[in-house]
A and B are shown apart, each in its own frame.
Chain A
């Protein structure tokens, strides 16, 4: 099964105007932190460990 392409870019955004001048556009928003493309099976609250915490 092909892996999904996780690359995304967001459109550039202007911050609005100040002193009658258009502000420089901000950098594109970072892509989502996680794009899994996986179908989740099971309950979300099954016990697991994260950040060194397992209890």
Chain B
């Protein structure tokens, strides 16, 4: 079974959804038959590259809401994340353009490290509140998951995997995904959002049965 997951590095619900999906997969009888592929998606493709803006400032500007109101809104997501063992740090967090991070995830995926890469970049962004607009921060994460530093730097210096990232984004649009996380099983079943674990379990079982039919 092929499971494709569209997700963005800066997406708090994506990380929560990842945890819930992982819980479902851990209990799935046929987990050894499941191959997971992370697909790129950008929530804010127009965000300036190389620029990091404090999360509360970025959200306050985007939503036209006072900083304190933004802080209150993010608190709810933080609580849900904490229930999944994720300690988000929005106070220190920095909003960035995630395209280069996605290119590094694709590099990692080419070496069988896609899941580790997506996990590491989301951890860096949402929990450790690192500034991923800084290429050095991106390289540091890449090295942490086992990628060669020189190769990561080469990717960032060029345009490798640009087509792959764009293709993922186009496919999401074609599949009707308007938000992330978005899970697709065998291009037959779609699960949108950070659903409860039971929903992911149901989707995995439905896809498994359909594949055997």
Contact = CB atoms under 8 A, between A and B. Distances in A.
Interface centre among A43, A49, A54, A55 (most CB of B within 10 A): A49
A47 B13 contact: yes
Contacts of A47: 13, 16, 77, 80, 193-194
A49 B192 contact: no
Contacts of B85: none
B174 A42 contact: no
Interface stretch (B127-135, B136-144, B182-190): B182-190
B14 to A, nearest CB: 7
A39 B206 contact: yes
A40 B175 CA distance: 11
B14 A41 contact: no
B125 to A, nearest CB: 12
Chain B interface bracket (under 10, 10 to 19, 20 to 34, 35 or more): 35 or more
Contacts of B206: 39, 41
Interface of A: 1, 3, 6, 34-55
Given A41-B203, A43-B199, A52 B62 contact: yes
Nearest to A3: B187
Top 7 nearest A-B pairs (CB, nearest first) are A46-B193, A50-B179, A34-B176, A38-B190, A48-B193, A42-B199, A36-B176
Contact of B192 (A34, A40, A53): A40
A34 B174 contact: yes
A9 B189 CA distance: 26
A1 B187 contact: yes
B176 A49 contact: no
B8 interface: yes
Contacts of B16: 47
Given A53-B62, A54-B11, A41 B190 contact: yes
A39 B189 contact: yes
A33 to B, nearest CB: 8
B208 to A, nearest CB: 13
Contact of A39 (B43, B80, B188): B188
A38 B203 contact: no
Interface in B5-51: 8, 11-14, 16-17, 43-44, 47
B188 A38 contact: yes
B193 A1 contact: no
A44 B175 CA distance: 15
Contacts of A3: 187
Contacts of B14: 49
26 contacts: A3-B187, A34-B175, A36-B175, A37-B187, A38-B189, A39-B189, A39-B206, A41-B195, A41-B199, A43-B199, A46-B192, A46-B193, A46-B195, A46-B199, A48-B180, A48-B182, A48-B192, A48-B193, A49-B14, A50-B43, A50-B179, A52-B44, A52-B62, A53-B43, A55-B59, A55-B73
